[in-house]
Structures are given as structure tokens and as C-alpha cells.
């Protein structure tokens, strides 16, 4: 059994934005409607106790708790402080607790009491920003239709220019094919992020992502060096990669690219997006139900469900479930076409949710990612750049004195 090391707690299940691509509110799984808005103190205590128990049982030196939503900062400063104190007390003397949060950032500027609470508990803060104002506001709007970029930018300045810089974990950006890739990257650099996460929009073979409407049938064989079908996401990402890779100095980290580079060099990824590292993340919803990754909400209603909750079950019960174990088998857990592909150790078959095809057997996830062709081109492009650099370095290296 692979123990969980990442625990994602949904401390608030509603949001103050109405993003048109949101996988929680705009996808087929609408379970959020039946859940409480905020995680009750008793639920937090049960989840924290089970995290500590899991860490103790598996002798984990460190656990990572991610506060999520909805928009987690909607709980307010007092309730947030109570959640953080409960987690800290439960893990004290058991394991090192690392806490992070993913937020749209709006409440940071609206409620001055929040940042001191986050600082007191050392919470690392990731903020969602989709690039330039026009791009961001095309998708990330308030419920009244007003864009949110200016408000997010104001919140980010509190992180980047003040005493809370150490809390700033980076930016999360969902790719928009209508936006220029290099302009998007440089707009994100304006906020000096220590790390960027560039996310492919969630989609499946049943509901393809934007720009891939013709992609309805999974490939029967691994893509060749130059797939005949359009690969708009690969082109977008390759343009950003070249701009980032060729910069005269390191401007920021880009997690997707760094993970692929590490994997190409024989290392191990720390992400479920690429690579074959066993999944070690579990979700607790506001009502205490234990679930799989949120991204599965784009596949079919109830897809993340396990039937477990923190009141009657432990995380060990969850870890024994086939739903988690199937994503911990490495190459053996991939579709046959993926297992036979020379890129599989790097792309890892793509994000699990992106493999969904209702007609696939023996499970609806037994096919390659809907982004298979794009991932193939991106991996090959990065591998080619890396290969050329290694060749050049070998040719110019000074002989080692004997």
C-alpha cells in the first residue's frame, strides 16, 4: 500500500468567481450543490486526527496539506486561523507539516486580516492568474460578469512587494489557445513568480478541450515523430519552453517543463501530470467525504467518490481502494498502447482524468490522454533541445586533468 503524503482539504465549497472552464462548478459532476459551504470544526478535527494517524502509522517525516475550494479564503480570517491551529496541533511531534493554499487571490486584498494569519502559520500561497488582463478576464470573471485581473493583480502586489514575500509559492495559469503564448508567459513574469504551473484545460475523449473538438477516438498506436493531426497545445507550450529555456538567466521555474527535463534525465517526477510516480494525494470535501482527485469531476457524475468519510473510515481504508491503487502501478497501470510507447516513462500516459473514454475497456480510463499527440510533440521537442545541449557541452568540455 502506498501511503498518502498529500491531503487536499476543501475548507470552503463556494467561489467568488464564475470561471467558464471551472471543473468544480461547470463540469458534469455537480456534487458541490449538496455539500456545506464550509468545513465544520468537527470535520476539520477528524480529518486532522486521521492525517496524524496516517503519518504515525507509516512513519512519514513530512506531510503536505493543501487548503482548497471553491475559494478557501471565503472562510474568513478567524475560521482560517482555527483550521490551521487544529492541523498544527494534530501533527505536532508526529511529522513536519507543510501547508499550502491555492486561491484566486481576491480576498487577500479585500480582507487585511488574512495575510497575517497565513504568515503566522507559514502557509505557502499559490494564486491563479491566466496571463494578460484581456486573457485572464475572458474566462476568470466575477458572477456579475466583471473581470477580475485588476483585483488579482492588487492582491499579488501584497505578496510580491511587501513583508509576505516568503509566502508566495507561485502562479497557476490555465492555457488559452487564443492568447499568444510568449505574451502570456511575459505577463506572468511581471509578478515575479518563483514557480509557474501551466495547466492544460481539463477535457476528455467524451468532451474534448477547446481546440480539439475533432479528437474523439483514442489512438490505436503511439504517435509518430510528427503526428498528422493538429497539436495546438504542443505548439503553444513549445513556444513558451523555447522562450523560457533560452533566457540568459533563470526567470522562474515552470513545473511542467522541469518535471519533463528531470524525467528525460532519468529522475523521478513529483506530479500526477507526467511521469509514473504513484499517486499519493487524497481529497477531503467540506462534508468530510474522502475522494480522489478533483480533476475526475470532468469525467462523469460521482467519478471522484469512494464511499468513505472521515467519521467512519481512515485514510488507510482509502489507500486500499482499487480506485487509488490503479494509479500507483506505474507502467503496468497504463493502457497497452501507452505501455508500449517509448515516451511513457516521461508523459506517464497523461493526467488520469484526461484519459476518460466511456467506451473504453476494461475501464473507461484504459486509453491514452486526449492530449496524447500534444504530449508526444512536447516531450520530443524538449528531448531534442536537451540532446543538442548535451552534445554541445560534451564537444566543448575541457578534459579532466589526470
Instruction: Report pLDDT digits (tens) over 196-252.
Output: 999 999 999 999 999 998 877 888 888 876 677 789 999 999 999 999 999 999 999
pLDDT of residue 328: 82
Burial label, 273 (beta-carbon count in 10 A; 0-12, 13-18, 19+): buried
Q: Is residue 93 part of a domain?
A: yes
Q: Is residue 132 part of a domain?
A: yes
Decide: 260 and 244 in contact? Cβ < 8 Å: no
Q: Is residue 362 part of a domain?
A: no
C-alpha dihedral sign at 252, 254, 257, 260: positive
Domain range enclosing 172: 6-215+231-329
pLDDT of residue 113: 97
Angle 344-297-339 (CA atoms, 0-180°, nearest 5)?
15
Q: Is residue 349 part of a domain?
A: no
pLDDT of residue 402: 64
- Contacts of 112 by beta carbon, 8 Å cutoff, 6+ apart: none
d(CA 213, CA 251): 35
Q: Which three cell numbers stand for residue 375?
A: 504530449
Decide: 304 and 291 in contact? Cβ < 8 Å: yes
Decide: 353 and 298 in contact? Cβ < 8 Å: yes
Mean pLDDT by 10 residues, the chain (402 residues): 95 95 90 94 98 98 97 98 98 98 96 97 98 97 95 95 94 98 98 97 95 84 77 97 96 97 92 90 98 95 96 96 85 89 94 94 93 96 93 71 64
Decide: 3 and 61 in contact? Cβ < 8 Å: no
Q: Is residue 363 part of a domain?
A: no
Total domain count, the chain: 1
Residue 10: CATH number of its domain: 3.20.20.70
CA 156 vs. chain centroid, Å, equals 20
Decide: 212 and 219 in contact? Cβ < 8 Å: no
Q: Is residue 376 part of a domain?
A: no
Q: Is residue 119 part of a domain?
A: yes
Q: Give the pLDDT confidence of 88-143 residue by residue, as tens digits.
A: 999 999 999 999 999 999 999 999 999 999 999 999 999 999 999 999 999 999 99
Going by their DSSP bridges, the two strands 253-254 and 281-284 should be labelled as unpaired
Q: Is residue 181 part of a domain?
A: yes
Q: Give the pLDDT confidence of 83-95 residue by residue, as tens digits.
A: 999 999 999 999 9
Q: What's the order of all strands across the beta sheet hosting 289-291?
A: 253-254, 195-199, 168-174, 124-128, 96-103, 62-68, 6-10, 281-284, 289-291, 305-309
d(CA 363, CA 85): 41
The pair phi, psi for residue 194, each rounded to 5°, is -70, -20
Amino acid at each position: 500500500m502506498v501511503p498518502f503524503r498529500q491531503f487536499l482539504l476543501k475548507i470552503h465549497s463556494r467561489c467568488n468567481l464564475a470561471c467558464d472552464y471551472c471543473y468544480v462548478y461547470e463540469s458534469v459532476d455537480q456534487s458541490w450543490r449538496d455539500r456545506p459551504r464550509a468545513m465544520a470544526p468537527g470535520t476539520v478535527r477528524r480529518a486532522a486526527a486521521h492525517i496524524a494517524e496516517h503519518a504515525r502509522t507509516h512513519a512519514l517525516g513530512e506531510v503536505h496539506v493543501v487548503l482548497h475550494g471553491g475559494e478557501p479564503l471565503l472562510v474568513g480570517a478567524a475560521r482560517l486561523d482555527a483550521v490551521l491551529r487544529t492541523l498544527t496541533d494534530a501533527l505536532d511531534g508526529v511529522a513536519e507539516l507543510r501547508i499550502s493554499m491555492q486561491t484566486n487571490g481576491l480576498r487577500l486584498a479585500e480582507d487585511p486580516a488574512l495575510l497575517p494569519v497565513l504568515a503566522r502559520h507559514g502557509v505557502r500561497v499559490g494564486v491563479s492568474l491566466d496571463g494578460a488582463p484581456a486573457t485572464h478576464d475572458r474566462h476568470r470573471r466575477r458572477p456579475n460578469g466583471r473581470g477580475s485581473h485588476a483585483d488579482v493583480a492588487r492582491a499579488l502586489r501584497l505578496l510580491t512587494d511587501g513583508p509576505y514575500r516568503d509566502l508566495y509559492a507561485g502562479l497557476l495559469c490555465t492555457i488559452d489557445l487564443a492568447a499568444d503564448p510568449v505574451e502570456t508567459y511575459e505577463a506572468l513574469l511581471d509578478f515575479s513568480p518563483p514557480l509557474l504551473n501551466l495547466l492544460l484545460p481539463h477535457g476528455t475523449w467524451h468532451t474534448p478541450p477547446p481546440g480539439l473538438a475533432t479528437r474523439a477516438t483514442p489512438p490505436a498506436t503511439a504517435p509518430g515523430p510528427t503526428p498528422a493531426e493538429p497539436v495546438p497545445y504542443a505548439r503553444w507550450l513549445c513556444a513558451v519552453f523555447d522562450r523560457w529555456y533560452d533566457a540568459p538567466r533563470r526567470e522562474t521555474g515552470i513545473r511542467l517543463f522541469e518535471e519533463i527535463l528531470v524525467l528525460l534525465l532519468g529522475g523521478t517526477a513529483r506530479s500526477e501530470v507526467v511521469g509514473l510516480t504513484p499517486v499519493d494525494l487524497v481529497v477531503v470535501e467540506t462534508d468530510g467525504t474522502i475522494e480522489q482527485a478533483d480533476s475526475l469531476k470532468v469525467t462523469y457524475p460521482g467519478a471522484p467518490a469512494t464511499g468513505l468519510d472521515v467519521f467512519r473510515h481512515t485514510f488507510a481504508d482509502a489507500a486500499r481502494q482499487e480506485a487509488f491503487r490503479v494509479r500507483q502501478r506505474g507502467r503496468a497501470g497504463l493502457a497497452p498502447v501507452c505501455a508500449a510507447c517509448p515516451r511513457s516513462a516521461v508523459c506517464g500516459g497523461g493526467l488520469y482524468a484526461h484519459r476518460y473514454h466511456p467506451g473504453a475497456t476494461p475501464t473507461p480510463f484504459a486509453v491514452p490522454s486526449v492530449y496524447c499527440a500534444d504530449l508526444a510533440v512536447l516531450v520530443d521537442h524538449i528531448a531534442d533541445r536537451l540532446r543538442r545541449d548535451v552534445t554541445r557541452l560534451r564537444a566543448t568540455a575541457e578534459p579532466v586533468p589526470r
